[in-house]
Amino acid sequence: MSDELEGKRVAILVTDGFEQIEMTSPREALEKAGAKCILISNMDDKVQGFKHHDKADKFDVELSLNRADAQDFDAVLLPGGVINGDALRIVKKAQEFMQDIDRANKPVFVICHGGWILISAGLVKGRTITTWPTLEDDMRNAGANWKDQEVIRDGNWVSSRKPDDLPAFNRESIRALAGTAKARVQPSERDALEVRQ
């Protein structure tokens, strides 16, 4: 484990049906670099991961989306999964959370179908992004510059297409977060924030 991201807090925003590896792989990489990752959901206690179309593992929700404040985090990770992406995009609190993160110019790490929430939050116009190929029309219609690439860095956004892109996605996400300025909230204050265990 390195301390490159020590003191950084990353919100992982999901609902049932997220692509499990697109949550677990970046989370592991970010935590190995010293960040603290918090699983946030509109689900009550557990959230269901998927491996493509099949149910995989369930994970404990560490913080309710209703109680999550973008000011308490340095970045957000948006895993994909068709079910997850389609359900999360219509959750008003999720849209507001993403608007607050982006307004503060904090890093957004988005992969696969995770980009749907960015469209519904009105954030993609003029941005360069990659996603799972079936989102190309959605992105272009919302005003994004969509490209079919392994990983794209556009300002505070890092995007990738699919699980095969995870090594590049993880590396670029760590670089993006490591390059951010010191957070306004001190680590000791952050550690006191209540998180469901």
Domain assignment of residue 190, yes or no? no
Domain assignment of residue 3, yes or no? no
Domain assignment of residue 45, yes or no? yes
Domain assignment of residue 156, yes or no? yes
In angstroms, rounded to a whole number, what is the distance separating the alpha carbons of residues 139 and 55? 27
Residue 186 pLDDT: 41
The residue annotated as part of the active site, out of 37, 52, 53, 112, is 112
Domain assignment of residue 4, yes or no? no
Residue 1 pLDDT: 57
Q: Is the separation of the CB atoms in 101 and 118 below 8 Å? A: no
- First vs last Cα of the chain: how many Å apart? 22
Count of domains observed in the chain: 1
16-74 residue pLDDT tens: 999 999 999 999 999 999 999 999 999 989 999 999 899 999 999 999 999 999 999 99
Residue 90 pLDDT: 97
Tell me the CATH number at 51.
Answer: 3.40.50.880
Domain assignment of residue 176, yes or no? yes
For 3, 80, 189, the CA distances from 122, given in Å and listed in that order, are: 35, 18, 32
Domain assignment of residue 145, yes or no? yes
Q: Is the separation of the CB atoms in 108 and 45 below 8 Å? A: no
Does residue 113 carry a catalytic annotation? yes
Which range marks the domain in which residue 84 is found?
9-184
DSSP state of 182: P
Residue 188 pLDDT: 40
DSSP state of 155: T
Nearest CA among 148, 51, 37, 131 for reference residue 89: 131
